[in-house]
Amino acid sequence: MTQIQNPILPGFHADPSILRVGEDYYIATSTFEWFPGVRIHHSRDLKNWRNISSPLTRKSQLDMKGNMNSGGIWAPCLSYSNGTFYLIYTDVKQWHEAYKDTHNYLVTAENIEGPWSEPIYLNSSGFDPSLFHDDDGRKWFVNMIWDYRKKNHSFAGVVLQEYSEAEKKLIGPVKNIYKGSDIQLTEAPHLYKRNGYYYLLVAEGGTQYDHAATMARSKTIDGLYETDPDYPLLTSAGKPELELQKAGHGSLVETQKGEWYIAYLTGRPLNGKYCTLGRETAIQPCEWSDDHWLRLKNGGNSPDLIVEGPNLPEHPFEPEPEIDRFDSKELSHHWNTLRIPADPSWCSLEERRGFLRLRGMESLSSVHSQSLVARRQQSFHCEFETKVDYAPEYFQHMAGLVVYYDTEDHVYLHVTRDEDKGKCLQIIETTNGKYDEILAEPISVRNDGSIYLKGVINKDKLTLFYKEDEQDQWEQIGSSLDVTHMSDDSAEKIRFTGTFIGMSTQDLSGMKKAADFEYFIYKEDSF
């Protein structure tokens, strides 16, 4: 029997929505403020996965300029009916403190790889929406509802409303069908139907170390829903010895052989606390009890690092190349930008063939227009390298290698110009919003030619290097830096993404000076 090692989607891949269509399996995950919106992975065996598409590629589908950190795309839901794929998603504009501005939309496609439609606006009453296709042809929309009032609990239950495909809108009454268990913080509802029951799978406990997945059921779609007497179905809460923590926020899939699995959110902390890779996706086999409740196949409710795979032939994919030479007409699918699309006005593979040209825009603290292209860190042990051709004229010009969590936490090895040092290298580290220059004095480099930049992450430490010629030995720059501040768990306020690694440039004068990156290498030992 095939064995699957968790997580199946390492690195920042949160809030999985799993779907089977024939012999193909798909998982959609949250992308928050990173563009393009939503990542869809494909598998034939639930073990081997590859990223195949991101449905939200246009500003008309997703306009995130100005969205706050960890806003944007929360908890997409992928479904399929009568030849059409449906994707429900939330664009979160504001979510701190009392208020949450959460706008829910629907896009559709006949092919999982697109093109995807323009969005249909649905509602803004809460987040984590999903769409259920009943066997009578009706479609039902569910989302948690947010109550900002102090007298009530902020997570006010799960609401149900019918969706009219003909009218392209929600219709009929809104009914609160489930208030959750005493774990509370009930969110992420998904509906299923089996053996005469409607099953409601929800996340509870918040998305950190008390996270859980709970099931409830009803004979009618609008309730009342009875909570599983042996809840929660899945959790890591109170089990610090487990390698997989934060287990919860799941969705279900049945294989073509009748086997059941739950894909769920998890995290792997460093030093007992810091999930620098973000919240990841894992999978667990399930089975139905004699009294028609779903149970984990391991007999408990804890996540496992190694699980039994389905009765399906293995279907591996070619590994991703470690080097991107920027010789294609479009950015590779593993690259992402912050809040805005990779518009040719600032991000071009055509202006200088064989190079990625980035034109400098706003600072690394901006929530509007950053010139930053990055990919997920997906292993605790990785190294990355680039070569940048850049001629800064002022200290306001910067370009280089960035390790980035959000505007509050990042590390930036960059080329700039100093009045005394001339063209030089400096490291900026921003921790919980506090800016610091790591080098007491910038390091002068030659005025002409490119600079090679390199980083190595070994668990909680980042070491940076540079060289001026290809044949030179790498020279360490600065001391090794602690990267645990680039995690969900290190900030004063909760947040939801993960560490990204990539290239960035700024022109704080506003003239959009260009930096050319000749290649990028990302390689890892094991996750």
Q: Which is nearest to 138 in space by CA: 113, 154, 162, 155?
A: 162
- Residue-wise burial string across 18-43, b where 16 or more C-beta atoms lie within 10 A, e elsewhere: bbbeeeebbbbbbbbbbbbbbbbbbb
**Residue 320, number of CB atoms within 10 A of its CB:** 15
For the chain, what is the largest distance between any 2 Cα atoms, rounded to a whole number of angstroms?
A: 77
Tokens of 286: 């399930």
Active-site residue, from 15, 228, 259, 406: 15
| Distance in angstroms (rounded) separating the CA atoms of residues 105 and 122 | 5
- Taking the CA atoms of 10, 11, 15 and 21 in sequence, report the sign of the dihedral they define: negative
Give me the residues paired with residue 383 across strands.
456, 523
Give me the residues paired with residue 164 across strands.
169
- Taking the CA atoms of 201, 280, 335 and 74 in sequence, report the sign of the dihedral they define: positive
276, 483 contact by CB (below 8 A)? yes
Active site residue 15: yes
Q: Going along 136-259, which residue ranges are E strands?
A: 139-146, 155-164, 169-178, 187-194, 197-204, 212-218, 226-227, 234-235, 245-254
If you ran DSSP here, which 8-state letter would residue 32 be given? B
Active site residue 23: no
Question: How many Cα neighbours within 13 Å face the side chain of 373?
Answer: 29
- Annotate 214-243 with three-state secondary structure: EEEEECCCCCCCEECCCCCCEECCCCCCCC
- Residue-wise burial string across 71-88, b where 16 or more C-beta atoms lie within 10 A, e elsewhere: bbbbbbbbbeeeeebbbb
| Distance in angstroms (rounded) separating the CA atoms of residues 25 and 432 | 39
Distance spanning both ends of the chain, measured CA to CA: 23
Centroid of chain to Cα 95:
17
Active-site residue, from 33, 187, 204, 324: 187
Task: Show which residues are catalytic.
Answer: 15, 187
